[in-house]
Structure 1
Amino acid sequence: MGFAIAAGVLLLTALVSFRTIRQLTIHTRSVENTYQVLQEAEELTSQVREAERRVRGYLLTNDVDYLQDYPSSEQQVEKSFVHLRQLMVDNPVQTQRLDSMRLLVRQQFRNMQTLITPQTALTPPVTRTILDTGRQTMRAIRGLFNRLKASELQLLTLRNRQQNIYETIAPITIIVSAVLAILIALWLFFKISRELTANEQLQQQLTHGNQETSRRIEIVEHLAEQVLGGDYKVKIKDKEKDSLGNLANLLNRMTQKLDESFGALENRNKELDQFAYVASHDLKAPLRGVTTIVKWIEEELSGELSPQMRQYLDMMKGRLARLEDLINGLLAYARIGRTEQKIEPVDVAELVREVTDLVVPPEFTVAVSGTLPTFLADRLSLQQVFTNLFSNAVKYHHQGAGTITVRCQETKKEYEFSVADDGPGIAAEYHEKIFLMFQTLRDRNTAESTGIGLSIVKKIIDEQKGTMRVSSEVGHGTAFIFTWPKLPSQ
């Protein structure tokens, strides 16, 4: 509070001092401006009188030496008017007088120009009339000048008075500010000294409390380390009724729940392993038996089968193959993240060639744009990703042949791979749907697909802490873009 009050007072005095000095500067400039106006007006009037004197001397003596500097007089007078108008831009009354005076001066110069022009034949009466008009114009100019000068002198008096006021206020304000600053500093020094004495006593109490708290926190850290190591039966013995005691109680309950949950999870994993064994053996055996029976029918009754019956048998074989692929896909999907990764250097270019030989038919072309990296990764997982993407590109191509293009772009922490084809493309509304389980965009009768391939790819990428997206438009092919970390995920 003391520092806030001090800062507020100092800020207030600083603002007052700043405004005082600023006003003093403004009024000083105003006084200087008034002096400049008076000086410029005097010079302007003198220039007009001097031009008139030269014209009269020429008319009396017919000596052209009087007109030697006359041509530049009008230009100088115009410059003076421009300068005066800039100086008096904030005074509309004076500006109006100046404009009237400017019109009269221009009229006077036109009259004088008529008198000194050699080609003009002027009679004595006309000359006298022009001279009388010039004298009247000069009287009007002097009258306007006197009013302008009187107004500026009055303004000068007012501005001098205001300047004197702020010249008096400015040092007083600075002195008051300095005194206030000293008094506030002394008061704060007194308050802080008392606070420091009290803080020393409090510090001793806090030191003892911190040592005890550190000891209890070390016990909690030790428990966390044991939990990270897989020991979920550890407990903390802390009977204090404070926040750390409550935290210890919650951690004990958490470790108990973790122990129960991981025990249940281990049982579920055993059940999944048993399911995988049954699915891979007991479920596939009947499928292989039915497939064998279909082959026997085709071989032994080939002469008795009608075309319609052959079509039915072909459909049955396709469905059996899709069912076996579906079981294999489910098993592969279930095993993702549950098997130990084998981290090894992977030459992605070589891996792409191997996958091409396995799943890409000869009529398709696999092109590599740029260079593909070699880095540490789980080779089997990366091979599954490329295998499924290549298979999809071939399976859903609308023509008998096509091109698959593989690209890679390196970023700071990962590689961004792209597998693009020149197939029929995918509409934007299906870009998210295709990664769901059992989702296909073609009729089951058109292509025997399980709808699991992209789900497997998405889950593998998620396990690797990467991202996956699709870029496609109908009729312009499809590109699957996924990222793979440079460092293997744990």
Structure 2
Amino acid sequence: MKLKISTKLFAGFVAISVLFAGVVAINYQLSRAVLRNSQRVERSTRITGEATTLLRNIIDMETGFRGYLLIGNETVLDPYYAGERNLLGRFTELRNDLSLGTPQYERMVRAQQLFQQWAAYSHLLISEKREALRRNPNQIGLNDLEHRNLTTDLTGKKLMDQIRVLFAAFEKVEAEIRIKQRIKLRDSIRETRILSVSITLATIFLGLLYASYLVRQLSRRIGGMVSQAQRIAAGNYTAQVRDQEQDELTELADSLNTMTDTINANIQQLEKRNQELDQFAYVVSHDLKAPLRGIETASRWIEEDMGQDLPEHIREFLQLMRTRVRRMESLITGILDLARVGRTPQADEPVFVRQLLREIIDSLELPAGFEVELPFYLPTLHTNRVQLQQVFTNLISNALKYHHQPEHGTVRIGCVEGPQFYTFSVTDNGPGIAPEYHERIFVIFQTLTERDTLESTGVGLAIVKKIVERQGGTIRVESAEGQGATFIFTWPKERVRRAEA
């Protein structure tokens, strides 16, 4: 069973989340190790500070004790009694910070025992010193002290030296412990950094690897669908996308394939109907024009057979009949031309617009006095020559046909280049067109004059509008009654590609 895209994305998200959760857990454990080592260093530093303070208090007691023995002033005993009050508690606190049974613990026990011996020794001598001063206020030094021999054999000094040795050893061991703990702390920090960075990079790499896999898979499949859409836009309605993943994009590909099949079937049906319509139009045109020609021929035969005996009003009726027949033929031809606009494939070619306009002017056989003015600049286009010729021919011929004074008529051609389009204008000095008719004139069969007054099928401007719009341009008229008319249309610099229908 193949996984859907949503399942793959969710699985990738879960996997990355698990990896990051693992990174957090590992970092937490490593940080605990760093914290433990840091606490051990801090604890050793604190123990060393307490031991140093304790030793300083003992030395202060020794100094006060010696001073009292020498001068007999009770004031110098203040540090002695202050130290005595604090030291027993300090020894207890220090031992509580040490692990029971360790060499450091044993050293503090031994140091406390020696201190107690020294305290007993010092208390004895202080008591004897007070008693001697009470008996003899002028007593000096150790004179008259019962146990003065304890000082001469250096009992107190030996006890203090042993205490100093124990504290020196204690501080040395603690210093070594701190060095080891700092090394462990440094190693744990380095290990934390290395593992954190490595695991994080590994997680990012795996996430990017999985993301690139999904992106590659999706881009490949979506690219296939985009290519199919481009082929459809280019007119290839048989393109298909093969997708076997059985997920959401497979459903999209199937829908796109179904749409392609539907478009292809509709196009084929449309082409078939267009062929039938072309055939029908040809048959209708042929079948309609044949009797019209017969009517025109019969009217001429009647006119020829009757000769001078034909009444004048009958002759006028026959002439009117032939005029209506020719109008009907022109109307049929115009309808066929309008239906065929864009239906017949025609190749683009370079078109020099100035030369094209001169050919159109020459072909129209303009009456004397009617002038067509061309601008200084006219471009060369790569476009459909026949259709551009139809547009200019219709517009110029209409300006001539509907002019109220052809012998004084003027048509000015204009051209303005834009970013994507050329804007052409055809301006005449004819009778003009009222604003309410500006849209009507582009509708098939709509004319502004009576057909009996001026022969017109009403198809020409409809053909022009259809040609211009199929090229991707627009056409409009600017005019007012009695002020001439300007037809403005845009023509693309590059032809808009579209399926011929």
TM-score, scaled relative to structure 1:
0.56
Amino acid at match of 2:436: E
Alpha carbons of 1:209 and 1:374: their partners in 2 closer, same or farther (altered >3 Å)? closer
Any gaps of 5 or more consecutive residues in structure 2?
A: 1-197
Q: CA offsets per residue over residues 154-193 of structure 1, 9 Å max, x none?
A: xxxxxxxxxxxxxxxxxxxxxxxxxxxxxxxxxxxxxxx9
Structure 2 residue aligned with 1:238: 243
- Does residue 1:365 correspond to 2:371, yes or no? yes
1:303 aligned counterpart, secondary structure: helix
1:331 deviates by 1.3
Distance 1:230 1:430, change over 3 A: closer
Match of 1:379 in 2: 385
For residues 117-151 of structure 1, what are the alpha-carbon distances to aligned partners after superposition, in whole Å with 9 as ceiling and x for unaligned? Answer: xxxxxxxxxxxxxxxxxxxxxxxxxxxxxxxxxxx
Match of 1:425 in 2: 432
- State the alpha-carbon separation in 1 of the partners of residues 490 and 417 from structure 2: 10
1:284 to 272, 283, 289: 289
Q: 1:218 to 1:371 in 2, by over 3 A?
A: closer
User: Which entry has the higher C-alpha Rg, 1 or 2?
Assistant: 2
User: How many equivalent residue pairs?
Assistant: 300
| Other-structure match for 1:301 | 306
Q: Among the aligned pairs, what percent are the same residue? A: 49
CA 1:223–1:375: 2 relative to 1, 3 Å: closer
Q: Which amino acid in 2 is paired with 1:417?
A: F
CA distance in 1, matches of 2:234, 2:396: 41
Which residue does the alignment assign to 1:203?
Answer: 208
Q: 1:232 to 1:485 in 2, by over 3 A?
A: closer
Match of 1:260 in 2: 265
Query: What are the superposed Cα offsets for residues 264-296 of structure 1, whole Å, 9 maximum, x if unpaired?
Result: 011012112212422443322222221222222
SS at match of 1:375: strand
Give the aligned partner of residue 73 of structure 2.
none
How big is the shift at 1:400?
4.4
Q: Work out the CA distance in 1 between the residues paired with 2:255 and 2:423.
A: 43
1:447 equivalent in structure 2: 454
Partner of residue 87, structure 1: none
Pair 347,210 (structure 1): closer, same or farther in 2 beyond 3 Å: closer
Which consecutive unaligned segments of at least 5 residues does structure 1 have?
1-192
Distance 2:300 2:277 in 1: 33
TM-score (norm 2): 0.55
Contact 1:368-1:405 within 8 A present in 2 as well: yes
Tell whether the 8 Å contact from 2:367 to 2:406 is kept in structure 1 after alignment: no
RMSD (CA atoms): 2.8
Matched, 1:405 2:412: yes
Specify whether residues 279 and 394 from structure 1 end up closer, same or farther in structure 2 by C-alpha distance, changes over 3 A only: farther
Q: State the partner residue of 1:356.
A: 361
Q: Aligned in 2, Cα 1:295/1:214: closer, same or farther, shift over 3 Å?
A: same
Q: Which residue of 2 aligns with 1:327?
A: 332
Alignment of 1:338 with 2:348, yes or no, is: no
* DSSP 3-state at the match of 1:398: coil
Partner amino acid, structure 1, of 2:271: E
Please tell me whether the aligned partners of residues 226 and 232 of structure 1 are also in contact (alpha carbons under 8 angstroms): yes
C-alpha deviations, 1:77-121, integer Å up to 9, x for none?
Answer: xxxxxxxxxxxxxxxxxxxxxxxxxxxxxxxxxxxxxxxxxxxxx
Tell me, in whole angstroms, the C-alpha distance in 2 between the residues paired with 1:237 and 1:342. 35
Equivalent residues of 1:319, 1:448 under 8 A apart: no
Deviations 1:16-45 (A, max 9, x none): xxxxxxxxxxxxxxxxxxxxxxxxxxxxxx
**Measured at CA, do residues 471 and 225 of structure 1 come closer, stay the same or move farther in structure 2, by a change above 3 Å?**
closer
Matching residue within 255, 267, 275 for 1:270: 275
Aligned residue identity for 2:380: T
The corresponding residue for 2:494 is: 487
- Secondary structure at 1:301 match in 2: helix
- Secondary structure class of the residue paired with 2:254: helix
- Specify whether residues 211 and 351 from structure 1 end up closer, same or farther in structure 2 by C-alpha distance, changes over 3 A only: closer
Q: CA, structure 1 residues 384+231, in 2 after alignment: closer, same or farther (shift >3 Å)?
A: closer
